[in-house]
Amino acid sequence: MLRTSVAMFVLLAAMGAAHAGPGNQSVVTQENASNVADINQDLSLWGSQSNVSQIGASNLAIVLQVDDGSAVGDVAANVSTITQSGDGNDASVSQSSAGAADSDAAANISRIEQVGADAMATAIQSGAGADSLIIQSGTEQTAWVSQSGAGQTISTVEQDGESGIATVLQADSGPGAMLLSDIQQDGEMQIADVTQFGDAAQSAVVQDGQDSYASVTQDSLGGGMLNSLVMQVGAGHTAFLSQTGAEAFSNIEQTGDGQVANVVQTGGASGILSSVVVQSDSGQTATVSQAGDGPATSTVTQSGGLMVAEVSQDGEDLLSDVLQGAGEDNFADVAQAGQGKTSFVTQEGYGHLAFVTQVSGTPSVSTVIQSGVGNSVTVSQ
């Protein structure tokens, strides 16, 4: 077993711990099995840079960077790069910066790339702006990211095949800053969980095939715009989304097999709520609930299979469009409450049933079109 522990003044490559001065730099390259790199960089006023490269089985890399200054110009305060190639990889990065949020650069930048089976990666960042990239290729990936502080925060996780799982938590304490999360997972037992708390947030989860599951929670803390896209392609599917903010936009698209989608949106005064769920053939279920003081728009389009769609809206200028195409069991329930309500339901073949209830306030407009077999409509205004 080869173990490298680095705690910097200018550059120390040795066992033990020492306090480090400004402008810490560390480069570690390891080959063969059971590599361990433990990097500790702290007390810098100009940031720290660490680069770890490991080739071989059972690699472990741990990087700790603590900066008492701030990002200078377009140079990040803390930068960590870990590259691991081989089976049994494990990488952990912890970065903290006390700098202000008015710099052109993120206070913390972390890059982790793992190639091989049994990969695990953790990135924890706190300070004025954070940027994390985790790339995992192979079986049984896991990734966990935690980011907090003022300034723009970016997280990207890319996983290639097998067991998946990626969890991102972002919290922003500064006004006007953006939280950005992008997760892409390829095949087998994907799971993705994103939680964002900040003035404005954007999330995209794209999962390709097998057991799926995605849960996104966004909260602008009464501030700006929230934006979410979840797209899952084949097999198990399930997507929950919950958004709370002045304005919220959600787009969930799931194609063939188990789909379920549950969207909840809560808006502020005069803010816009918009939800689109598009699910294609198989199990399908979509439940959308929107509540706010401003306009709300919901579109659910399900095509074939055991469709169900329930939409509930509360606010002003409400629009619901449920279209369940082709045929099978069908069912749609739309309930709207507030001023200015419009509902279309269009169902095609087989089971049918559609209840639309529009409560108080004027005007109320409802159009239901059903085609062959079961049929049944109840509209109450």
CB atoms closer than 10 angstroms to residue 19: 12
- In this prediction, residue 70 carries a pLDDT of 66
**pTM to 2 decimals?**
0.88
**Residue 7 pLDDT grade (very low, low, confident, very high; cuts 50, 70, 90):** very low
pLDDT digits (tens, 9 = 90+) for 12-38: 333 233 333 447 899 999 998 898 999
* Rounded-to-integer distance, Cα 163 and Cα 246, Å: 36
Least-confidence region, from 190-199, 281-290, 291-300, 356-365:
356-365
Predicted confidence band at 209 (pLDDT cuts at 50, 70, 90)?
A: confident
Domain boundaries, the chain: 1-133
Contacts of 69 (CB under 8 A, 6+ apart): 22, 44, 45, 46, 47, 77, 97, 98, 99
Q: Report the half-sphere exposure of 321 (CA within 13 A, side-chain side).
A: 9
- The whole-number pLDDT of residue 196 equals 96
Higher pLDDT, 237 or 360: 237
pLDDT at 269 over 90: no
Q: What pLDDT is stored for residue 248 in this prediction?
A: 95
Distance CA 18, CA 60 (A): 21
Give DSSP secondary structure letters for 35-86.
EEEEEEEEEESS-EEEEEEEESSS-EEEEEEEESS--BTTB-SEEEEEEEES
Average pLDDT over residues 307-323: 95
Res 200 pLDDT > 80: yes
Which of the four pLDDT bands, split at 50, 70 and 90, describes residue 221?
A: confident
